Amino acid sequence: MQQITGTMNSGVAALTEREKETLRLLVAGHDAKSIASHLGLSVHTINERLRDARRKLEVSSSREAARLLAEREQAAPDSSADKFLGVSGAADPMASAEPAGRRKHRAQRLAWFGGGMLIMSLVIAAVALSSVFGGSVAATQAGAAPAVAITAPSASASLEPARAWLALVDGRRWDDSWRSASSLFTSQITAPQWARTIESVRGPLGAVSKRTFQTVTKTDVLPGAPAGAYEVILFRTDFARKPGATETVIMVRDPGGWRVAGYFIR
C-alpha cells in the first residue's frame, strides 16, 4: 500500500499544470470535446494531455486519473486551492488585460462538500472560500463508459429546475436558493454560510444580461458524491463585469424532483 501511495504521489507530482487543469475539468463534468471548446484548444491536444496524464499515473482510464488527482488535492486543499480550475490566458479574456500580480490574487478557490464535489469556484478580488468539507471520495467505476456532453436542451430532464434556481441567485434570493437546493447541498453548508459565499462570488460579477445553455452531461457517478442520478449543465453567461463566463450547475434527482447539488463559475 505504501508503495502504491508513493507511486501515485510521484505520478501526480510529474503532472504539468496543463495536464492538471484538463483533469480538473474532467472531474467537473466535461468531456474531451467540451474541455477543448472551453480552453480554446483542439480535441487532439486535450487527448494528448489525457494520454500523458494516464501514463504518468499508470492508469488506463482518464476519469480514474482525474479521480486520483482530486483525491490527492483534497488531502492538501491549502496547497491546491489557488490552482484548481486555474484560468489560462487562452480561456479567460480578462487575463491578458490584467497585471500579473492582480491575476495571481484573482485566484480561484474552492469549497468542497460531500467529500469532493464543488459547491463554488472562482473568487474575484481575492475573496477566499475557507470552508473545506471532509469525507471520503467515492471511487469512480474504472470500467464505466465515459459520460458524453449533449448539446440538445431537450436531453436534460433538469434544465428548467436549474434555470429556476439560477433565477433565485440572479435575484439575490440567497435563502430561497439554499432552501430549494438538494438535501446533499443543504446538509453540508448552512444558509448563512451559503449567503456569505454566494454574495462574495456573484456580487463582483454584476447582473446577468444573457445566459445560454451549452451542454448537459448525464451520469450516475461523480467524484466525491454518493451514487445517484446527476446532470451536469453548462451555461455560457454574460455578467456585467465578466462576459463569456461558464456557469456549471450540478443537478441531482431527489425524491421531490431535480434539485441543485453544486454550482460554480469560471
What confidence tens digit (pLDDT) does each residue in 217-253 have? 898 877 667 888 999 899 999 999 989 998 989 899 9
Place of cell 492582480: 102
Range of the domain at 244: 2-265
**Higher per-residue pLDDT: 86 or 192:** 192
What confidence tens digit (pLDDT) does each residue in 21-53 have? 888 888 766 788 888 887 788 999 999 999 999
Mean pLDDT of the chain: 72
Residue 120 main-chain phi, psi, to 5 deg:
-155, 140
Among left, alpha and beta (phi > 0; psi -120 to 50; other), residue 114 is left
- The arithmetic mean of pLDDT across residues 6-13, rounded, is 68
Confidence at residue 197, expressed as pLDDT on a 0 to 100 scale: 81
- The arithmetic mean of pLDDT across residues 41-68, rounded, is 91
Q: Which of 31-40, 124-133, 154-163, 222-231 has the lowest mean pLDDT?
A: 124-133
DSSP state of 217: E
Q: What's the grid cell of residue 237?
A: 453567461
Confidence at residue 160, expressed as pLDDT on a 0 to 100 scale: 96
Number of domains in the chain: 1
**Higher per-residue pLDDT: 84 or 214:** 214
Q: Is 157 exposed, middle or buried (0-12, 13-18, 19+ CB in 10 A)?
A: middle
Q: Residue 59 pLDDT > 70, yes or no?
A: yes
3-state DSSP call for residue 237?
strand
Q: Residue 159 pLDDT > 50, yes or no?
A: yes
Cβ neighbors of 18 (< 8 A, separation 6 or more) are: 49, 88
Q: What's the grid cell of residue 137?
A: 471520495
Confidence at residue 91, expressed as pLDDT on a 0 to 100 scale: 31
- The arithmetic mean of pLDDT across residues 130-157, rounded, is 53
Pairing mode, strands 257-265 and 242-254: antiparallel
- The arithmetic mean of pLDDT across residues 4-24, rounded, is 77
Alpha-carbon Rg for the chain, nearest whole angstrom, is 17
Q: Residue 138 pLDDT > 80, yes or no?
A: no
CATH number at residue 28: 3.10.450.100
DSSP state of 177: H
Q: What's the grid cell of residue 252?
A: 441531482
Q: Residue 80 pLDDT > 80, yes or no?
A: no
Q: Which of 100-104, 123-127, 158-162 has the lowest mean pLDDT?
A: 123-127
Name the β-bridge partners of 238. Answer: 210
Does the global pTM surpass 0.85? Answer: no
